[in-house]
């Protein structure tokens, strides 16, 4: 299954406190970042707009890489906590080729 794992970014504004290679999910936007609840992303200083959260370390990174992991849907839902989060993890990896380093801004994930 194609998923995102933590990577160490190479851009000057990258940061990473995750365990390299751990599964990551997009961070949930805070009130200052979420335009659906009145936020204006540029006022957010916590990193939720650009970060991914490690499912083991519970820490963030700005870079992730697409990897093929030997998991089935049931295992992914157990790791993710529920079906919606599992869907979000699959969607974030999208159709990018294995090895693609990606970044995000709110709900948009793109190759670097």
Domain range summary for the chain, segments of one domain joined by +: 2-111
CA–CA separation, 37 and 95 (whole Å): 29
pLDDT at 27 over 60: yes
The 10s digit of each residue's pLDDT in 76-103 is: 999 988 899 899 899 999 899 999 999 9
Order of strands across the sheet with 24-26? 24-26, 52-54, 60-61
Tell me what pLDDT residue 34 has: 61
CA–CA separation, 68 and 100 (whole Å): 11
Tell me what pLDDT residue 91 has: 92
Furthest CA-CA distance within the chain:
40
pLDDT, mean of residues 41-55: 76
Tell me what pLDDT residue 39 has: 52
């Amino acid at each position: 299954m194609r998923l995102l794992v933590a990577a160490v970014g190479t851009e000057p504004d990258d940061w990473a406190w995750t365990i390299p290679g751990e599964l990551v999910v997009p961070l949930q936007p805070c009130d200052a970042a979420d335009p659906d609840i009145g936020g204006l992303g540029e006022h957010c200083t916590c990193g939720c707009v650009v970060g991914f959260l490690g499912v083991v370390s519970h820490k963030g990174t700005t870079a992730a890489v697409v990897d093929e992991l030997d998991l089935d849907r049931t295992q992914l839902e157990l790791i993710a906590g529920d079906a919606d989060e599992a869907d979000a993890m699959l969607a974030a990896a999208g159709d990018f080729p294995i090895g693609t380093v990606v970044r995000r801004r709110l709900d948009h994930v793109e190759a670097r």
